[in-house]
């Protein structure tokens, strides 16, 4: 408790119990580190220190000091254990900082042991003073430096910062505290504490001297003056006995002679008290104050050559043995008390300066009305007033909104705070103040009970934390909101879903979870760049958000994935209009810097509650799986989750894991199907066809597994393996002039690294002419993004490879597309070859395709030739190159030489030579 007005400390009345009220180490607001557990323990350490000082004031013995050492050592160890546990909880990975912190604790214990050991060789009083000096310095340094740093780190970690960020924040906060100020604080507390202790001891001793003298006075009627003089000669006060009439000094004790030297015997009591002019033996400059005025009749000062001393006089007329009365003078040395009085006045002045110049708003209020009694300039500025007079008639309640952010009424809450401060001595918390201009200011408030001139008041220290609150809100926004779209992120979504699930159970309504993934967003990113993609995401997110009701939530999980949480649906199908509007909002075109960007959305839906118990994560997975089915069903549509489909999806995930393992285990192989010239019989190339050598099911064709990896990263990995393996086989076939064609899907072809990976693969086989590798692409993959596909093909052509358009005739390519695509070969789909002899339309389509190939100077290759007559008909139409089961089935590479040796041109085809 802060003491303002220190006169009570020096009163000689009231008994020794008043001294125990002295707080040698008063608690200050700045000692609060902001962690309740540490602050409570710090207050207990201060209480132990003050109790220790109080016992020293009365009397000090080895047993007392030793017992206090035990208590302090035990509680400090408990406190250190708390701190080290906090450090390990929040900074387990910072062992060096922890070791440094722990070393400080060990150093304290070592010094305490040294002081205890010094009791054996030093006076107890000296050890007591050294102990208090050490404890004051250590406690101030420990709280203001070591523990404040630890608290800053812990609070930063609790706000979600990383360890490095938390340490940086703590170091910055410590740099903000002036080292000079901390040094002054330490010095002030040490000096103030020791002076207080010495004063209290001196006052205690002096009271005892006075008591002894009065007791001796009461006994003078029955004892001789010699016995009295013997008693007085051994006291620690300066004692004079003088004749009341002649002013003759009859007795001066040893203590007085030590203080004043030879002159003491020549100074009479009347001159000492200044009641008349000094006698001839007195020297004026020794008896007059520095300003030339006579000495005070009660307190006088004496100078020797170096030191000014102050004494307090107690005088009494007493009977002497010879029947006359003499004046007994007892002078108590109060020099240290005077110095301390000045120190305390200086402290009050420092307090006044701190109060006036503090950057924190400081104010003093008093019961019963709690109006402002005092306030510093920072208070005036905080509340937006012109001067203190504008605030003097107000109370803190008048400068607060009706309710606090916690929802409590400001008036009742403020009364509770003030009651706690008056009862416990202090209260600390947050408060929302309202300036005179109506603006609300979040603050921290420290209320401290004080005494001024005997009146109990409350000092409030208020700090504007608007900046910290804005920073806290910014951190919370970063932690809970997507930085690009401003929508709730995955963390906040989880919280909203939990609340919505509880609400659905409570109200008996349906909760709808909709999982959205944008269709075609990757193509926008790849073609127009990520900046354009980000702008598209922001606009689409804003459109979808406006579709929802105020009570609903739209969150972004990352990339182009969103989740909508729709609450208070009476039936499952009541949400359908909102879901449709979500799809429409996502599919609307976006004009971005001259380009028209267009995407759609696939939407999966699930509901809550369900028949079985389910949590929020499972609901999201259900909606995700339903969204995946919407994509497989054609995209830009809504798919509702069902358990049967869920089992199928689970099977799909298991299959993906099995296929990934198969690639790692080298279970995939390439079979080769020959392509021949049906007019000459020569072999012109091989098509590499993927097969899976399943350890249990045997050799599986692509239809068994390729559709499962479409659009997955495994599709690209497997496609890269096919190209690498085909080039390795070509390296073995250097003695023949075949081409080997490989099938490349749209996902792999449009991957940003496709050309680079192809070039890298070709460089690993420098002996293989690059023109012997042919890439077959589906007509539909070219239609998806003609410009991009054309650019990729041209880059590959520059490397020397050739291209074929596979399954030609089954897509929707226009003549413009056919003209622009730089492919050399058109592979006629097997469906036209199969039925051309029976279906006139297929035959006409075949003739048209061959005509297009001739017109655009492309080489046609017929797929699926399974009969002799089909070959004859193709030759008649002018198509010479073909592949199919009639010619050869796909086979392993090591079977090709055998087939070559056995292959011969059918006689029926020879006639077309």
What pLDDT band is residue 488 in, cutting at 50, 70 and 90? very high
Split at pLDDT 50, 70, 90, the class of 303 is very low
Q: Give 710-750 pLDDT, tens digit per residue.
A: 778 888 999 999 999 999 999 999 999 899 999 998 888 88
Mean pLDDT of the chain, nearest integer: 79
Mean pLDDT for 275-302 is: 39
Identify which of 131-145, 333-347, 441-455 has the greatest average pLDDT: 441-455
For residue 309, the model assigns a pLDDT of: 62
Q: Region 235-254: what's the mean pLDDT?
A: 73
Indicate the range of 132-146, 192-206, 635-649, 734-748 predicted with least confidence: 192-206
Interior/surface letters 658-691, b for 16+ CB within 10 angstroms, e for the rest: ebbebeeeebbebbbbbbbebbeeebbbbbbbbb
Q: Which of 545, 535, 533, 534 is nearest to 487 (CA)?
A: 545
808-826 confidence digits (pLDDT tens): 766 545 566 677 788 999 9
CA distances from 370 to 434, 455, 758, 848, 850 (A): 17, 13, 83, 100, 101
pLDDT of residue 652: 67
pLDDT at 566 over 90: yes
Site of tokens 């098509």: 687
Structure tokens at 503: 């609400």
pLDDT reported for residue 156: 81
Give the least confident one: 263-267, 455-459, 571-575: 263-267
Provide the token pair at 774: 């042919």
**Would the pLDDT of 181 be above 50?**
no
- For the chain, report the end-to-end CA distance as a whole number of angstroms: 117
Q: What is the pLDDT of residue 44?
A: 82
Beta bridge pairs of residue 687: 673, 741
Alpha carbon separation from 344 to 7, 27, 192, 362, 632 (Å, rounded): 9, 16, 8, 21, 85
Give the span between the Cα atoms of 533 and 92, in whole angstroms: 41
What's the confidence (pLDDT) of residue 333?
A: 67
pLDDT of residue 873: 92
CA dist 359 and 593 (Å) reads 51
Give yes or no for a cis peptide into 369 (omega within 30° of 0): no
Of the listed ranges 164-168, 212-216, 359-363, 577-581, the least confidently predicted one is 212-216
For residues 742-771, give the mean pLDDT: 92
Assess whether pLDDT exceeds 80 at residue 198. no
Q: Please tell me which residue, 472 or 726, carries the higher pLDDT value.
A: 726
- Tell whether the model's pLDDT for residue 390 goes beyond 50: yes
Interval 509-534 mean pLDDT: 93
Residue 872 has which token pair? 């004859």
Give the pLDDT band of residue 269 (cuts 50, 70, 90).
Answer: very low
* Residue 20 predicted with pLDDT over 60: no
Distance (Å, whole) CA 89 – CA 111: 28
pLDDT computed for residue 703 by the predictor: 82
Task: Pick the closest to residue 274 from 261, 286, 288, 262 (CA basis).
Answer: 288
Q: Determine the pLDDT at residue 196.
A: 56
Q: What does the pLDDT read at residue 194?
A: 54
Out of 172-181, 288-297, 307-316, 729-738, which region has the weakest mean confidence (pLDDT)?
Answer: 288-297
Is the per-residue pLDDT at 302 higher than 60? no
pLDDT recorded at residue 12: 28
Cα separation values, 152 from 277, 472, 830, Å: 67, 14, 74
Contact 602, 627 (CB under 8 A): yes
Percent of the chain with pLDDT over 70: 75
Whether residue 273 is predicted with pLDDT greater than 50 in this model: the reply is no
Q: pLDDT value at position 207? A: 56
Q: Average pLDDT of 770-779? A: 89
pLDDT of residue 337: 67
- Per-residue pLDDT tens over the stretch 888-908: 999 999 999 999 999 999 988
Q: Which two tokens stand for residue 599?
A: 């995407």
| E-only strand ranges, 349-402 | 361-366, 371-375
Residue 723 DSSP symbol? H
Among 138-142, 230-234, 814-818, the range of highest mean pLDDT: 138-142
Q: Is residue 18 predicted with pLDDT exceeding 50?
A: no
Backbone angles phi, psi at 745, to 5 degrees: -75, 165
* Nearest-10 crossing angle of helices 530-547, 521-528: 140
pTM of the model: 0.37
Give me the mean pLDDT over the 300-322 stretch: 58
Count the neighbouring beta carbons within 10 Å of the beta carbon of residue 370: 18
Name the least confident of 201-210, 366-375, 394-403.
201-210
836 in Cβ contact with 870 (< 8 Å): yes
Q: What is the pLDDT of residue 182?
A: 42
User: Which domains occur in the chain, in start order?
Assistant: 32-177 (1.20.120.50), 205-341 (3.30.450), 360-470 (3.30.450.20), 504-641 (3.30.70.270), 663-910 (3.20.20.450)
824-864 residue pLDDT tens: 999 988 888 888 888 888 788 888 889 888 888 899 999 99
Beta strands (DSSP E) in 435-580 are 440-452, 455-464, 510-519, 553-558, 561-569
Q: How confident is the model at residue 294 (pLDDT cuts 50, 70, 90)?
A: very low
Q: Which of 481, 478, 567, 485 is CA-nearest to residue 518?
A: 485
Higher pLDDT among residues 888 and 203, named by residue: 888
Residue that has been written with the tokens 């016992």 in this structure: 55
Q: What percent of the chain has pLDDT over 90?
A: 33
């Amino acid at each position: 408790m802060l003491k303002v007005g220190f006169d009570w400390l020096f009163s000689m009345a009231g008994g020794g119990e008043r001294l125990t009220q002295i707080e040698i180490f008063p608690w200050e607001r700045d000692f609060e580190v902001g962690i309740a557990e540490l602050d409570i323990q710090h207050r207990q350490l201060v209480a132990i220190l003050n109790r220790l000082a109080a016992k020293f004031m009365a009397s000090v013995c080895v047993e007392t000091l030793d017992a206090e050492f035990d208590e302090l050592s035990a509680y400090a160890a408990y406190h250190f254990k708390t701190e080290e546990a906090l450090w390990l909880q929040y900074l387990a990975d910072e062992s060096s900082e922890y070791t440094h912190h722990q070393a400080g604790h060990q150093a304290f214990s070592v010094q305490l042991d040294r002081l205890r050991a010094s009791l054996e060789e030093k006076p107890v009083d000296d050890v007591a003073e050294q102990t208090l000096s050490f404890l004051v310095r250590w406690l101030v340094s420990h709280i203001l430096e070591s523990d404040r740093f630890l608290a800053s780190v812990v609070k930063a970690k609790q706000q979600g910062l990383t360890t490095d960020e938390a340490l940086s924040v703590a170091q910055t906060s410590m740099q903000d505290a002036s080292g000079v100020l901390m040094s002054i604080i330490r010095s002030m507390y040490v000096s103030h504490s020791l002076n207080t202790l010495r004063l209290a001891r001196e006052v205690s001793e002096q009271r005892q001297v006075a008591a002894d003298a009065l007791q001796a006075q009461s006994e003078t009627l029955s004892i001789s003056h010699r016995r009295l003089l013997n008693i007085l000669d051994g006291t620690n006060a300066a004692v004079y006995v003088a004749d009341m009439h002649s002013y003759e000094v009859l007795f001066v004790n040893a203590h007085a002679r030590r203080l004043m030297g030879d002159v003491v015997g020549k100074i009479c009591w009347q001159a000492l008290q200044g009641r008349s002019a000094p006698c001839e033996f007195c020297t004026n400059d020794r008896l007059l104050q520095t300003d030339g005025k006579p000495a005070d009749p009660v307190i006088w000062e004496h100078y020797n050559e170096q030191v000014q001393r102050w004494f307090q006089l107690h005088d009494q007329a007493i009977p002497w043995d010879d029947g006359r009365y003499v004046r007994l003078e007892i002078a108590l040395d109060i020099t240290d008390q005077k110095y301390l009085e000045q120190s305390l006045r200086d402290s009050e002045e420092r307090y006044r300066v701190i109060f006036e110049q503090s950057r924190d708003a400081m104010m003093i209020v008093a019961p019963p009305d709690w109006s402002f009694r005092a306030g510093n300039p920072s208070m005036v500025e905080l509340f937006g007033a012109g001067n203190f007079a504008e605030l003097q008639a107000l109370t803190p309640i008048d400068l607060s909104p009706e309710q606090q952010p916690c929802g409590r009424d400001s008036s009742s809450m403020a009364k509770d705070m003030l009651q706690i401060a008056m009862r416990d001595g202090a209260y600390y918390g947050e408060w929302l103040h309202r300036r005179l201009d109506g603006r609300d200011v979040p603050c921290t408030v420290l209320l401290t009970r004080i005494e001024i001139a005997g009146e109990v008041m409350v000092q409030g220290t208020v700090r504007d934390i608007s900046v910290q609150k804005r920073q806290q809100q910014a951190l919370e926004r970063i932690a809970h909101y997507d930085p690009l779209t401003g929508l709730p992120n995955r963390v906040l979504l989880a919280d909203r879903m939990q609340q919505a699930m509880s609400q659905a159970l409570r109200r008996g309504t349906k909760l709808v979870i909709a999982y959205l993934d944008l269709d075609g967003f990757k193509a926008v990113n790849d073609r127009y760049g990520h900046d354009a993609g980000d702008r598209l995401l922001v606009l689409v997110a804003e459109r979808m958000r406006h579709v929802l009701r105020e009570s609903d939530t739209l969150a972004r999980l990352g990339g182009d994935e969103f989740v909508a949480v729709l609450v208070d649906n009476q039936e499952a199908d009541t949400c359908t209009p909102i879901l449709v509007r979500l799809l429409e909002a996502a599919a609307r075109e976006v004009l971005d810097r001259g380009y028209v960007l267009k995407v759609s959305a696939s939407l999966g839906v699930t509901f809550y509650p369900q028949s079985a118990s389910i949590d929020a994560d499972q609901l999201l997975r259900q909606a995700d799986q339903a969204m995946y089915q919407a994509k497989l069903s054609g995209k830009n549509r809504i798919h509702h989750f069902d358990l049967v489909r869920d089992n199928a999806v689970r099977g799909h995930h298991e299959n993906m894991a099995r296929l990934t393992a198969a690639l790692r285990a080298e279970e995939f192989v390439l079979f080769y199907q020959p392509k021949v010239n049906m007019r000459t019989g020569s072999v012109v190339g091989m098509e590499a066809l993927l097969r899976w050598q399943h350890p249990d099911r045997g050799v599986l064709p692509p239809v068994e597994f390729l559709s499962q990896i479409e659009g997955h990263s495994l599709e690209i990995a497997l496609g890269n393996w096919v190209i690498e393996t085909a080039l390795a086989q070509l390296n073995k076939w250097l003695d023949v002039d075949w081409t080997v064609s490989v099938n490349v899907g749209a996902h792999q072809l449009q991957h940003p690294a496709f050309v680079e990976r192809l070039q890298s693969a070709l460089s690993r086989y420098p002996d293989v002419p690059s023109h012997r590798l042919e890439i077959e692409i589906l007509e539909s993959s070219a239609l998806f993004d003609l410009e991009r596909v054309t650019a990729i093909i041209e880059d590959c052509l520059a490397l020397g490879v050739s291209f074929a358009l596979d399954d030609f005739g089954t897509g929707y390519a226009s003549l413009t597309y056919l003209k622009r695509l730089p492919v050399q070969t058109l592979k006629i789909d097997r469906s036209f070859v199969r039925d051309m002899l029976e279906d006139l339309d297929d035959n006409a389509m075949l003739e048209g395709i061959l005509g297009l190939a001739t017109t655009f100077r492309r080489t046609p290759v017929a797929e699926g030739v399974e009969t002799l007559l089909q070959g004859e008909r193709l030759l008649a139409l002018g198509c010479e190159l073909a592949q199919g089961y009639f010619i050869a089935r796909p086979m392993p590479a090591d079977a090709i030489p055998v087939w070559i040796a056995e292959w011969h041109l059918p006689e029926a085809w020879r006639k077309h030579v």
